[in-house]
Amino acid sequence: MSSGGNFAQRNNSGAVNQGLYASKITRTVNNIANGVEITMTTTDADTLAHMQSMFDKNQAKTPANSLITVKREKLANGTKVTMTSTDAATVKSIQDRAITAKM
């Protein structure tokens, strides 16, 4: 399990402000047998609104790797993403990348 992570928002010029909300988000990674669960929560109303809007934008996206299944859930205080695969090498890759916040 891991906490922390990166969170970005584009400013009016289109540039990315890394960490704009990072201090207000708790990111938890739990490895499961066939993948990973990533939960991001906050107690800050503005941060929650931003997280929920990003959730809506990402809901329609599909993973680049066809071996990965992604399930997204809105929570009362954040979001949860579950990524799974039936391929052992893909599961390891998902777990390794999630723990280093490269997802």
Q: Which tens digit of pLDDT belongs to each residue from 26-37?
A: 999 999 999 999
Beta bridge partners of 90: none
pTM: 0.73
Strands 8-10 and 78-84 turn out to be unpaired
- Give all strands (DSSP E) within the chain, no chain letters: 8-10, 16-18, 26-32, 35-41, 69-75, 78-84
Nearest to 41 by CA among 83, 82, 74, 86: 74
Tokens representing 24 are: 């207000």
36: helix, coil or strand? strand
Residue 71 tokens, joined: 């399930």
**12: exposed, middle or buried (C-beta count within 10 Å: 0-12, 13-18, 19+)?**
exposed
Residues 42-61, mean pLDDT to the nearest whole number = 82
Q: Is pLDDT above 50 for 76?
A: yes
